[in-house]
Amino acid sequence: TTDIRPNDNMSLPDSVIETNRPIRIENFSNHYRVMSADSDFRFSEEFEELKHVGREQPCTAADLPCNRPKNRFTNILPYDHSRFKLQPVDDEEGSDYINANYVPGHNSPREFIVTQGPLHSTRDDFWRMCWESNSRAIIMLTRCVEKGREKCDHYWPYDTMPVYYGDISVQILNETRYPDWNISEFMVCRGDTQRVIRHFHFTTWPDFGVPNPPHTLVRFVRAFREKVAPDQRPIVVHCSAGVGRSGTFICLDRIIQQISVSDYVDIFGIVYAMRKERVWMVQTEQQYICIHQCLLTVLEGKELTGAP
């Protein structure tokens, strides 16, 4: 039987097809049409094939009794092999633990540190992670409270007075508000050293859902890329669990860069690679399809149409 897979990687061995499904960009519109036919039948099939990716990997640190309270959700635990390790404090068990993993980006294998929305009890650890990783950018993709539920601690000051989180001081320098996101600069100090860390906060992305319209997310990715320095410092990304919206954002960031240097785009392969590092990255089928829709708007030059 001929391969009914609607793209042109017929020549690739099965082992590669299992982890990569590159689509020629000139064929992407047709690929989307085929995948979305019959109520997204082939999108559903393809997303299902990602279900078990990475799930065999251990999460022993997350499961330690001293670390369990540091996890926002019982089913969202960081894999040991890719977890971010804080500088341990003396012999304090679990002091190196935070619910966070390194995830590859377009520019480096550890471009992103993906984490859960800090808990009130872990926000000092969160700032330690930002400091010790030498990060200069935080991407926040959730509101602190959604539908009456706390999704993330308000881990930064409410006004321009500096606030200490452990031994790290944070002060808001400025904030610019847009319809769907805010961009702020924080002065972050530890001892005699000070740094400016930019905070990119997307404020209209419903949990388990997608931005409306999808191209709002494309504009946010571009607004972020315009301002973030092209250095090798890791970028901290979080939502509430740090899997669904965070994975969707990173995948879109990667494909927007991928199409500028390649004739192919591999959304399946990117999500596969992310899920080897952190569980459930791109959590819902709707988010997986949204990534494809965002790319369509970019390829068709429609990302700037519609409401300002």
Identify the active-site residue in 59, 130, 152, 239. Answer: 239
**Binding piece for ligand UA1, criterion CB under 6 A, among 47-55, 183-191, 234-242, 263-271:** 234-242
CA distances from 258 to 24, 44, 264 (A): 12, 24, 8
Closest CB 147 distance from ligand UA1, rounded Å: 12
CA proximity to 251, closest of 133, 84, 111, 81: 111
Whose Cβ is closer to ligand UA1: residue 44's or residue 286's?
A: 286
Binders of ligand UA1 among residues 174 to 213 (CB under 6 A) are 207-208
| b/e burial code for range 25-43 (CB count within 10 A of at least 16 → b) | beebeebbebbeeeebebb
Whose Cβ is closer to ligand UA1: residue 118's or residue 242's?
A: 242
Q: Say how far apart CA 77 and CA 68 lie, in whole Å.
A: 9
Q: Say how far apart CA 269 and CA 125 lie, in whole Å.
A: 32
- Out of 30, 64, 66, 73, the only residue in the binding site for ligand UA1 (CB under 6 A) is 73
1 binds ligand UA1, rule: CB under 6 A:
no
Query: One-letter amino acid identity for 204?
Result: T
- Dihedral sign of CA atoms 116, 284, 209, 138 in order: positive
- Out of 50, 61, 62, 76, the only residue in the binding site for ligand UA1 (CB under 6 A) is 76
Closest CB 35 distance from ligand UA1, rounded Å: 23
Whose Cβ is closer to ligand UA1: residue 39's or residue 75's?
A: 75
Entry field: residues in the chain: 308
99 binds ligand UA1, rule: CB under 6 A:
no
Closest CB 239 distance from ligand UA1, rounded Å: 4
Closest CB 115 distance from ligand UA1, rounded Å: 11
Chain center to CA of 144: 17
Q: Are the beta carbons of 234 and 210 closer than 8 angstroms?
A: no
Q: Say how far apart CA 45 and CA 61 lie, in whole Å.
A: 33
Closest CB 263 distance from ligand UA1, rounded Å: 32
Binders of ligand UA1 among residues 115 to 154 (CB under 6 A) are 142
**Does the annotation mark 189 as catalytic?**
no
Q: Say how far apart CA 265 and CA 259 lie, in whole Å.
A: 6
Q: Is 197 helix (H, G, I), strand (E, B) or coil?
A: strand
Binding letters toward ligand UA1, positions 243-262, x by CB under 6 A: xxx-----------------
Closest CB 128 distance from ligand UA1, rounded Å: 22
Which two structure tokens, joined as six digits, stand for 244? 């669904």
- Out of 240, 258, 293, 297, the only residue in the binding site for ligand UA1 (CB under 6 A) is 240
Question: How buried is 131 (Cβ within 10 angstroms: 0-12 exposed, 13-18 middle, 19+ buried)?
Answer: buried
Binders of ligand UA1 among residues 259 to 288 (CB under 6 A) are 283
Known catalytic residues are: 239
Q: Which residues make up the interface to ligand UA1 (CB under 6 A)?
A: 73-76, 142, 207-208, 239-245, 283
